Copies of this chain bind each other. A is one copy, B any other.
Amino acid sequence: VVRAIDVVKEYGTGDNVTQALKGANLNIFRGEYMCIMGPSGSGKSTLFNMIGGLGTPTSGMVFIDEVDVAQLDSYELAWLRCRKIGYIFQSYNILPVLTAMENVSLPMLFAGMNPDDAREKTYELLKRVGIAHRAFNRPYQLSGGQQQRVAIARALANDPAIILADEPTANLDLKTGEEIKDMMKQLQEEDNVTIICATHDMKMIDICNRVVWIVDGQVTKIENREDI
């Protein structure tokens, strides 16, 4: 469902070029749960941005459902990000001026859902991640892990076919992390959602199908979880 071919991503110019990705190759199958591991600074988040159509590779190609992401016009790209991919950012990126409720229902409204349905569905999602009781708080009023859970709920807003989760449990205690893990596994098994998860959290790896190792901007190893 996702194919990355020789993806290179450079930042900066002239003498100051940083090569975040140096030719990443990856094939992700529909309904698979893939974990991406690698040292800090190795390129995980950058790879996610490329896969999620949130940036253009310096070179190389990314295909989602066999469609070359670089060929999409801005409408098609927006549709892709709104409907097909649910993105859990490493730094949450929830809007500070909106409440938890508003943050999660916004994508639904963009997708054309009517406000009443959106509100109801949002409430269900907030319950699912255990923060329904803080629905009307803004991010600054929420703890780190509570903000992270708002970000997770928002990623699920439009029932995406693909979830890109960047360290989704980094700020969660073990118990809450377990709940999120079970939720992700359930999404994969019951809804055939493809989950791509960058993490160093072993319990998230426990439930994946394959693990991809990325070091210094390149995919160095791909193995089946059973073999680890």
User: Measuring CB to CB, which residues of chain A are less than 8 angstroms from any residue of chain B?
Assistant: 11-12, 18, 37-42, 44-45, 90-91, 134, 141-146, 148-149, 166-167, 170-177, 200
Contact = CB atoms under 8 A, between A and B. Distances in A.
Contacts of A144: 40, 45, 90-91, 166-167
A173 B200 contact: yes
B90 A146 contact: no
B18 A171 contact: no
A103 B115 CA distance: 44
A176 B39 contact: yes
A100 B18 CA distance: 16
Contacts of A45: 143-144
A40 B200 contact: no
A18 B141 contact: yes
A39 B145 CA distance: 9
A41 B167 contact: no
Interface centre among A40, A141, A173, by most chain B C-beta atoms within 10 angstroms, is: A40
A173 B143 contact: no
Contacts of A18: 141
17 contacts: A18-B141, A38-B173, A39-B173, A39-B176, A40-B143, A40-B145, A40-B149, A40-B171, A40-B172, A41-B142, A90-B144, A91-B144, A144-B166, A144-B167, A167-B170, A173-B200, A174-B200
